[in-house]
Chains A and B, each alone.
Chain A
Amino acid sequence: MAFAPRLIVPVSQHIGAPAVPVVKAGQEVVRGQLIAEADGFFSVPVHAPATGIVEAIDLMHSAAGPKVLSIVIKVYEAASQQVLESYPVDPMQLDRDELIKRVQNSGLAGLGGAAFPSHVKLQVPEEKQAEVLVVNGCECEPYLTCDHRVMLEQPENLLQGVRYALRITGAKRAIIGIEDNKADAARLLREKLTDNDPISVELVETKYPQGAEKMLLKSLLGLEVPVGGLPIDVGVVVNNVGTLAQLGRLLPSGEGLTERVITVSGSGMEKAGNYLVPIGTPVSFILEQVGVEAEYEEVIMGGPMMGMSIASLEVPVTKGTSGVLVFRERRFIEEQGERGTRFPCIKCGRCVDACPMRLNPAQMVWLAEKREYTAMQEKFNLNSCFECGCCSFVCPSNIPLVQYFRIAKSINNENRKATA
């Protein structure tokens, strides 16, 4: 996709400490140049997504709601947009610590949606051993197809990234898990594999939330990550295909992350599809480019189950943005009848059936209504909920279950902070 005239690049596009700007307003930047550096190990730097001039460093809209510190770049239209800053190396010659430093320098954060700093994920703690690297080729959510396209269009980058990740983590083998409705991607990747690669491609059932790492591990390896644990606790490191495809490209070239693939979809759209979009592109520009009818009512960043509906079209695409969806309210009404009339819980048990973490959402809602948020955690493992939204989706009484859980979790967090 073309460069928008103005790019808005937040300094915090990942989970962890925000990056610190190293440019000033009025300064010219070249595409790929470091514009904000990592603040400690649990942070990733930000690179200029385009050649231009820094217009301002100011608080700007974000998808989540609050305004965040962002570097606004006015793009030079005539510029060649060549990436000038790069430090080419052969990753296979470097040791792990050097590689992890380079992953951090590339500004890579999980492109699946959570935007967890990739170098942190790839660093296996000293006392633990990674046996298997699982490559997540399952779409995070319905509507999104960006992972599929990445696998089809950048198989070489992806496999290269998997090889680097194997070297960094020390895992003995890698499994690329792909949903069975994307057999073409699996076929292509299998063809591209060499005999020496300890990499296999496996199909799993197409089912939301298969792309959640705990679900994928269960499907592929039959492993259950312990409550409150991470995949490394069962000897596994999980990475998304989009992330590893970028890793395969950025690590040898030594460039920074400046763009990503996103799915643009929804109703009334002329050119829905997957686009390679510079980080910082405002949603309004994307919608102009794909040609959206004027009559839409909800714009979502991410997927329909976990994404955020945005209040301003000036919200930019960040490293964690997997898609931009546009919905018309009318379409919702046709599909859903009277949306939102709430009925009492009839204990049908559908949420219990639907919960991939085998929680008891119904019981937790009864507690949430009484504001017994600590009991929700202590007795019912509230924090195991990863907010997939299945419970709210199936509830015939239109009870906003996952919404209750989000509130309960954040209140518990605040209380913990207050007492700590």
Chain B
Amino acid sequence: MSRKPIVLHTAPHVKRPQEVPVIMRNVVFALLPILAFAIYQFGISVLALTLVVTLTCLATERFFNWMSNRTSSLGDWSAVITGILMALTLPPGFPLWMGVVAGFVGMAMGKMVFGGIGFNVFNPALVGRAFVQAAFPVAITTWTPAFFDGRFTQFIPTTLTMPFMMPPDISAWASSVAVDGFTGATPLGLQKFQDTQTAAMELLTGMTAGSAGETSALLIFVCGLYLAFRNMMNWRIPVWIFIGVTVTSGALYLVDADKYPDPLFMLLSGGLMLGAMFMASDMVGSPVTARGVMIYGLLIGFLTVVIRVFGSLSEGIMYAILLGNAATPLIDAMTQPRVFGARRKEQSP
């Protein structure tokens, strides 16, 4: 009887097949419908921006692999997520060369200097975005009307800005192409600076201006649900963020309903849905225990509302998540699980 040699393993001898690249790949799949809607809404500029940012992220990761003499880590798909997510958080007409800067800084400073996947403290996509927010304050707040004519054949004028040049002023262009009822202002900006409320239905379906991929709260929610159902995302994180937002903005709304927006608007507007579903829920930067996740989610929800209402920016989710990321090690240390059989008081730190 001939047979192969016996292989020795240590227990366990069976393994759940779901591996890191499988999870990451599914996050990419979940982002694709959002990306498709963004392209439908804002045209080929978004497509170009996403390609440029994503390729920059991939190239940056590969470059750092090469610099540190490691094998390529592109196979885990996480750089693709960062690229797409980052592009979705940028204004549709964001100049491509600035997208390259965002992609490079996000990957290099947000991820690779820490040692790559698993070691980063902050969400790399948001690190990149925070950098360009500070570096290019005008470009990152230059919004484009949704569904403008000719969006599938022509770029938004700012998209093709020459490298190291500031983008041209597009307000004249924007008013010339805008379809009736669609201005370039975002719902949060309208609410904050012009005291104009956008209807919930428009926020749900994405009939508004805004960052490329943040407009349709409903679509993002459904895509996030897919991940939650496949057990590839911790559903508790978005849930606690929503609760945090609702409670904080609800309290303010009760204090003065004229001055502060209602909780539903807060939940559906801006980047909250995208941030809660896809960025705050990034496994690496979030706590591991259910209790830790609760603190983390509530903190992000609270900070988002505080920044939106009292800050000088109209949107606060980005900084809220980054602060949540920063608090994660502390939260993790505070919320160690109580070991089976341990008395509650004797819990080790």
Distance, CA A218 to CA B340, complexed state (A): 10
Q: Assuming the A-B contacts A298-B7, A298-B9, are A356 and B340 also in contact, with contact meaning beta carbons closer than 8 angstroms in the complex?
A: yes
A69 within 8 Å of B (CB atoms): no
Which of B12, B13, B18 is most buried by chain A, counting CB atoms within 10 A of its CB?
B12
B243 within 8 Å of A (CB atoms): no
CB distance from B231 to the nearest CB of A (A): 9
Distance, CA A297 to CA B4, complexed state (A): 6
CB distance from B33 to the nearest CB of A (A): 24
Contact residues in B for A214 (Cβ distance below 8 Å):
340-341
Cβ B12 vs Cβ A305 within 8 A: yes
Interface size on B, residues (CB 8 A): 46
Contact residues in B for A294 (Cβ distance below 8 Å):
1-3
CB distance from B24 to the nearest CB of A (A): 9
CB distance from B321 to the nearest CB of A (A): 16
Distance, CA A224 to CA B288, complexed state (A): 23
Cβ A359 vs Cβ B288 within 8 A: no
B19 within 8 Å of A (CB atoms): yes
CB distance from A274 to the nearest CB of B (A): 20
CB distance from B121 to the nearest CB of A (A): 11
Cβ A343 vs Cβ B14 within 8 A: no
Contact residues in A for B118 (Cβ distance below 8 Å):
343-347, 397
Cβ B12 vs Cβ A393 within 8 A: yes
Contact residues in B for A305 (Cβ distance below 8 Å):
11-14
CB distance from A351 to the nearest CB of B (A): 8
Contact residues in B for A226 (Cβ distance below 8 Å):
341-343
Interface of B is mostly: loop
Contact residues in A for B101 (Cβ distance below 8 Å):
none
Residue-wise interface mask of B (1-34) relative to A, using a CB-CB cutoff of 8 A (1 in contact, 0 not): 1111111111111111111111100000000000
Residue-wise interface mask of B (331-349) relative to A, using a CB-CB cutoff of 8 A (1 in contact, 0 not): 0000011111111000011
Distance, CA A310 to CA B7, complexed state (A): 8
Contact residues in B for A295 (Cβ distance below 8 Å):
3-4
With both beta carbons as reference points, the residue of chain B lying nearest to A349 in the complex is identified as B288
Cβ A402 vs Cβ B12 within 8 A: yes
A360 within 8 Å of B (CB atoms): yes
A80 within 8 Å of B (CB atoms): no
Interface size on A, residues (CB 8 A): 68
Q: Assuming the A-B contacts A227-B342, A359-B339, A384-B340, are A309 and B16 also in contact, with contact meaning beta carbons closer than 8 angstroms in the complex?
A: no
B116 within 8 Å of A (CB atoms): yes
Please provide the chain B residues from 256 to 290 with a CB less than 8 Å away from any CB of chain A in the complex: 283-284, 286-289
- Selected from A218, A309, A358, A396, the residue in CB contact (under 8 A) with B23 is A396
Cβ B6 vs Cβ A337 within 8 A: no
CB distance from B280 to the nearest CB of A (A): 14
Interface of A is mostly: loop
Distance, CA A310 to CA B11, complexed state (A): 11
A368 within 8 Å of B (CB atoms): no
Cβ A398 vs Cβ B234 within 8 A: no
Distance, CA A398 to CA B15, complexed state (A): 9
Distance, CA A387 to CA B11, complexed state (A): 9
CB distance from B1 to the nearest CB of A (A): 6
Distance, CA A274 to CA B16, complexed state (A): 26
Cβ A349 vs Cβ B13 within 8 A: no
Contact residues in A for B23 (Cβ distance below 8 Å):
348, 396
**18 additional contacts, CB 8 Å, given A349-B288, A381-B348, A389-B11?**
A227-B342, A298-B13, A310-B8, A335-B17, A343-B19, A345-B118, A346-B118, A346-B284, A358-B337, A358-B339, A358-B340, A359-B337, A362-B288, A379-B349, A380-B336, A393-B12, A397-B118, A403-B10
Identify 9 residue pairs between A and B in the complex whose beta-carbon atoms are under 8 Å apart, listed by A's number.
A227-B340, A294-B1, A339-B15, A347-B118, A348-B234, A349-B287, A359-B339, A392-B15, A398-B15
Which residues from chain B sit less than 8 Å from chain A, CB to CB?
1-23, 76, 115-119, 234, 283-284, 286-289, 336-343, 348-349
List the 10 closest A-B pairs by CB distance, nearest first: A344-B118, A349-B288, A389-B12, A348-B283, A357-B340, A343-B20, A358-B337, A305-B12, A294-B3, A304-B14
